[in-house]
Amino acid sequence: MTQTTFAITSAGKPVQDIHPLVAHHLLVVGQTGSGKTTSTLSLLDQLQRTNYTTIIFDPTGEYSKLPNSVTYKLGENAYLEAGQLSAHQLREALRIHGNQLLNDKLAQAVDALRIQQNIVQSNKPYVKIGVPIADYQKQLAKLSNWSRSFAPQQLAEQLIAEFVIPYPDERADYALLGQQYDRPTIN
Ligand SMILES: Nc1ncnc2c1ncn2[C@@H]1O[C@H](COP(=O)(O)OP(=O)(O)O)[C@@H](O)[C@H]1O
Ligand SMILES: [Mg+2]
């Protein structure tokens, strides 16, 4: 155990054992230049010496040159697997700030593609024309947390497939997901 003093308590007592310090949540605050980064680096250095594994989420890259660390950079050597994301996470990742309709349709499209991949075992879009609502809901109910994955390359086409509506006349069948494409809204 190292005897380095890397902190002093408010009572003026030197802190020599790092474990109680990091066993709880720890917030480092102070003005710019007051030593936050230096203190944090010292903590990380102590943790490395005691063989702790530390994971740093570093939005500015300030800690990327830390010795003995493995650095993953999103888009360079780390990637988001689009087919594992929720509709909400997709919107955040792609910075889609659409209206409510588009948000709802995107969520539906992800659900439909999850059904395709995990229940129908197809990588094609889910064509909703003529599908009874009851059948669709049974498929939806079969999805579990284990069947989150979907084919992201079909997302654009699936989004179009979501815009199905009943016929506008006496042929309308409300037991079906849809009977024709809502072309004006798709456009
Ligand atoms: N305990 C310390 N003793 C002397 N200099 C320090 C100490 N802590 C930090 N510094 C120096 O002060 C400057 C600002 O420290 P830094 O950790 O970058 O502050 P912050 O992250 O709070 O802005 C740096 O040049 C650093 O080397
Ligand atoms: Mg800093």
Tell me the pLDDT tens digit for each residue of 99-117. 899 999 999 999 999 999 9
With pLDDT > 70 as the criterion, what percentage of the chain qualifies?
Answer: 97
**Residues, beta carbon < 5 Å, ion ligand 2:** 36-37
Question: Could you tell me which of 27, 28, 5, 30 has the C-alpha nearest to residue 17?
Answer: 5
Helical segments of the chain, H only: 18-22, 36-49, 87-94, 100-115, 133-142, 155-161, 183-186
Select the more confidently predicted residue: 16 or 159. 159
Q: Which ligand is the nearest neighbour of the Cα of 8?
A: 1
Which of 16-30, 46-60, 80-94, 127-141 has the highest mean predicted lDDT (pLDDT)? 127-141
| CA 39 – ligand 1 centroid, Å | 8
Question: Which residue reads 């790092």 in tokens?
Answer: 18
How far separated are the first and last CA of the chain, in Å rounded? 68
Q: From the alpha carbon of 34, which atom of ligand 1 is closest?
A: 22
Token pair in block for residue 20: 């109680």
What whole-number distance in Å separates Cα of residue 128 and Cα of residue 61?
46
Higher pLDDT, 20 or 63: 63
Mean residue pLDDT across the chain: 90
Say whether pTM exceeds 0.75: no
Question: Strand, coil or helix: what is 144?
Answer: coil
